[in-house]
Structure 1
């Protein structure tokens, strides 16, 4: 990996060999010293075909940017290359020029597939037979699928309240799914303990430095897809903070290399019951550590990538907002009703966030916005029913239909 120069601690500046399996800087307690992957961009520029024609078959178009060896066996299900769609009806309702980057179209239905492909590729290259993570559901499903694809054993730790629909996926993929009697944060802590005990490869995007690197391909794609019409804003929901950090890093890299001229401002959206990154960015004194939101994919009480997320918001000149669960459900229904896009609650949270940002004057009328939908609505059918309402029951006769729709 001659294009990867080092793993650096953003807190103390200590550097580590990128070929070793290491997650955090040992100079700091817990997981505060999450490492940053640094690159030789001259090497990357020489290897990358910068003919940005908008044809993106999958995220491995950007292999020159990804922290894998040239001879590595890539484990892929065709992740990335998701469409960016005009959303004029939604835009008219929100008062902005609207587009949607629908990453719910990834192989297991979630943006996390970008990171998981890199994780399983790295695990195989390191000679590990078992890969693990903690998850509220999406990372579990993603890791189960890619571990099966790569021939690795997969052991996943989930909290008690993880949606059953999301757990069906990793079970079908053959993963061991262990329900932890506690919160996501407790499941997460346990996954770190077993990693130390057994030497399994840990895919947790919150600490594994290579996971943000996989997620940054969504930023590369956004930069390429909007190179002639850079949006004023790109909007992500935030849980651990990895997706917005990766998206910004990828977009910024393309600008730094002069592949595109401009960069957008980033808007981070959190649920009111899990707002630690927002509270930190806004310099609030009281930061709760217990998550309470139906948007399980962003239900993180103690985000591990707060620093990287806040850096993305700051460097881009962006901002953050919080939205209620009711606003998230309303946004899920609005996105489906106006544009035919089915998003899980965390995937719909950016739409609620745009509405809030418009009300607060953060996003001005007529500005151009791209919202990144991070997960498909099939992940959480129960919340979708809460958002859209119940099925209307009728008798099997024409009269009931005429009564409902006739003049």
Structure 2
């Protein structure tokens, strides 16, 4: 079989299994979004096929093709996603008081980590002779899907909430997608994208329900495992912001795979960070009472009131012996500026969320001063300049005169 390393799709709730080639998104034994599917692999076959010489040279995520759920005869649709740098961050480390590294996934082709998932999705869509791709998005997934659809010569029809940042919507329009602004929340846009998938048969890229999307995201875990291995020491913590929960779940799966296969010696603990106004996964992890679905945060990439991958995300946090924290929008903005001003890395608010969570976990525990932390920046800051303006204020305006400069800087 051309995809014989993929054994099944397994329901995370009831354990029912399905043919990985079946046209299915969620387990039909459950209503709504609870029946999320997990891709199950034959790791003996993967181990035979993967070159485990971890040298730190990663041109793209397709170095890990042996792990990815694509047919060996499929034509890979790629823009060079993955292979992003893991930066030493001495200035940030001095500011925080712990050794800190930054994995900058804002350097992906469309400026966000989601490109890892989209490359896999569009590759599978092309191989399945699909013509139209769809998803719901607050902006990043829209841009990512539109870019890769253009690369593949397919149509993209994308549903976004009406308050999605204008800067993020410019991208999919440039890529030629149909961008449909839904008069409502992200969750309403999401529900509509699922409805049109059922009505029209379009291929749905939503990472929340498409089980193969998380599999692309897990390459960030493979890369971190390899990069930290080459560096000579596994980090104690890796911090991710959380929205739907699929990114942190995918990253953990990749990290754990490399440890289980013996390629690296250990795994880090995960720190999952959510905004206080959209904290459903945090609340589930800490067994807090379930409230009304709320998504009120300026970090639009993680503004999700009803996360679809809560089960996977909570499981990842628990298996890694990690934890979840909440941070305010003000803390997110401050962290965005902190990362930029110390290390020259411009992150969007979702990336600032991860750093804000690290600051909180240092102040209140559990991160200790002798530990090493990786902050994952999931998106490039130019996607949301309005939030950056809120964080920094306006430019200083002066007359074209040296006296004006003297007034500012001469002692």
Q: Shared topology, TM-score over 0.5?
A: yes
Specify the alignment match of 2:137 in structure 1. Answer: 135
Name the residue aligned to 1:123: 125
Alignment partner of 2:86 out of 84, 88, 91: 84
Give the match for residue 249 of structure 2: 245
- 1:94 has 2:64 as partner: no
Deviates more, 1:122-131 or 1:75-84: 122-131
1:234 is matched with which residue? 238
Of the candidates 67, 71, 74, which is equivalent to residue 73 of structure 2? 71
> Which residue, out of 315, 322, 328, partners 1:318?
322
Deviation at 1:21, TM superposition (A): 2.0
In the aligned structure 2, how far is the partner of 1:30 from the partner of 1:285?
20
In the other structure, the counterpart of 2:12 is: 10
Give the deviation of 1:288 after TM superposition: 3.4
Secondary structure of 1:226 counterpart: helix
Q: Do residues 59 (structure 1) and 65 (structure 2) align?
A: no
Measured after TM superposition, the shift of residue 287 of structure 1 is 3.0
Which contiguous aligned blocks of 4+ residues in structure 1 show a shift greater than 4 angstroms? none
Local SS of the residue matching 1:156: strand
Instruction: State the alpha-carbon separation in 2 of the partners of residues 352 and 183 from structure 1.
Output: 25
Gaps of 5+ in 1: none
Q: Name which of 237, 256, 261 aligns with 1:257.
A: 261
Match 1:289 to one of 283, 293, 312? 293
> What is the CA–CA distance in structure 1 between the aligned matches of 2:128 and 2:299, rounded to whole Å?
34
Matches within 5 A, 1:118-197: 118-197=120-199
Distance of 1:60 and 1:219 partners within structure 2:
13
Q: Distance in 2 between matches of 1:163 and 1:215?
A: 23
The structural deviation recorded for 1:290 is 1.8
How far 1:88 sits from its partner (Å)? 1.2
Q: SS state of the match for residue 39, structure 2?
A: strand
Q: Deviations over 1:334-379 (max 9, x none)?
A: 0001110000000111110001111111111121000100000000
Partner of 2:270: 266
Q: Distance in 2 between the 1:10 and 1:119 partners?
A: 21
Structure 2 partner of 1:32: 34
Render the CA deviation track for 1:242-290: whole Å, top value 9, x for unaligned: 1100000000000000000010000000000000000000000143302
- Given the alignment, which residue of 211, 221, 224 partners 2:223? 221
What secondary structure, in the 3-state scheme, does the structure 1 residue paired with 2:64 have? helix
State how 1:365-380 maps to structure 2 within 5 Å: 365-380=369-384
Give the Å deviation of 1:172.
Answer: 0.2
- Structure 2 distance, partners of 1:32, 1:270, is 21
Query: Paired residue for 1:114?
Result: 116
Contact 2:284 2:290 in 1 (8 A): no
Stretch deviating more after TM superposition (184-193 or 84-93) = 84-93
CA distance in 1, matches of 2:410, 2:14: 71
Q: Unpaired segments of 5 or more residues in structure 2? A: none
Asked whether the 8 Å contact 1:100–1:373 carries over to 2, the reply is: yes
Aligned to 2:313: 309
Instruction: Tell me, in whole angstroms, the C-alpha distance in 2 between the residues paired with 1:25 and 1:275.
Output: 25
- Whether the 8 Å CA contact 1:350–1:372 is kept in 2: the answer is yes
Count of matched residue pairs: 407
Q: Residue 280 of structure 1 contacts residue 287 of structure 1 at CA under 8 Å; is this kept in 2?
A: no
Task: Give 1:406 deviation, angstroms.
Answer: 1.0
Normalized against structure 1, the TM-score is what?
0.99
CA contact (8 A) 1:347 1:374 kept: yes
Give the TM-score of the pair, scaled to structure 2: 0.98
Aligned to 1:131, the other structure's residue is in SS state strand
- Cα deviation for residue 17 of structure 1 reads 0.6
Hey, what's the Cα distance between the residues in 2 that align with 1:288 and 1:306?
15
In structure 2, the CA distance between the partners of 1:187 and 1:117, relative to structure 1 (3 Å rule), is same
